[in-house]
Amino acid sequence: MYKRKCITCNTLFETNHPKHLNCSAECNKVYRVVARYERENGDWKSYFKHILSKKPDAKLTVRQLLNMLDRQNHRCALSGVELTCIRRRGTTILTNASIDRIKAGGEYNSRNVQLVCRAINSFRSTLPIPEYLEWCRKVVAHNKVK
């Protein structure tokens, strides 16, 4: 028998196999996801592939998104913030790239999308861009230091 400390939850456990790192199948599953995310951090191709897997109706390719990212100089189309592709289990990274439909409710196609940071996509929701920008101006005007 081998005594180990689970690398996922730090629980002490016993195992018959010297290479077991986790105390349970659940901890092993969590560990594998975390390890995959660490490998994929900074890998735009994998990041966009993952995003598109969540949008089966999207008429976009990873190549189109990579080209769009280059055209936007790796910056959010609405805020100018540098876009990231960080995956961390259980955490929302507000600067991560998000596919935003220019015409809310329209198709996910190359003519109707732009890359924005996750925060902006959440804040904008379904507002048309001019209306969203007007709300942004109101927030800035209200909070200017006098």
Q: What is the mean pLDDT of the segment spanning 108-131?
A: 95
Q: Are residues 86 and 36 in the same domain?
A: no
Q: Average model confidence (pLDDT) for the chain?
A: 94
Instruction: Work out the angle at residue 132's Cα, subtended by the Cα atoms of residues 105 and 135, and round it to the nearest 5 degrees.
Output: 150
Q: What is the mean pLDDT of the segment spanning 13-23?
A: 91
Q: Are residues 55 and 70 in the same domain?
A: yes
Q: Are residues 61 and 100 in the same domain?
A: yes
146 pLDDT above the threshold of 70: no
Distance between alpha carbon 104 and the CA centroid of its chain, in Å? 19
Percent share of the chain, pLDDT over 90: 85
At residue 68 the predicted structure's pLDDT band, cuts being 50, 70 and 90, is very high
Q: Are residues 2 and 20 in the same domain?
A: yes
pLDDT at 39: 87
- Give the CA diameter of the chain: 70
Write the pLDDT tens digit of every residue in 35-52. 988 888 999 999 999 999
Q: Are residues 71 and 93 in the same domain?
A: yes
At residue 115 the predicted structure's pLDDT band, cuts being 50, 70 and 90, is very high
Q: What is the mean pLDDT of the segment spanning 80-94?
A: 94
In the chain, the number of structural domains is 2
Domain that holds residue 28: 1-40
pTM: 0.82
H-helix segments, the chain: 25-40, 44-53, 62-71, 118-124, 129-142
Q: What is the mean pLDDT of the segment spanning 5-22?
A: 93
Q: What is the mean pLDDT of the segment spanning 27-40?
A: 91
Write the pLDDT tens digit of every residue in 128-142. 999 999 999 999 999
11 pLDDT above the threshold of 90: yes
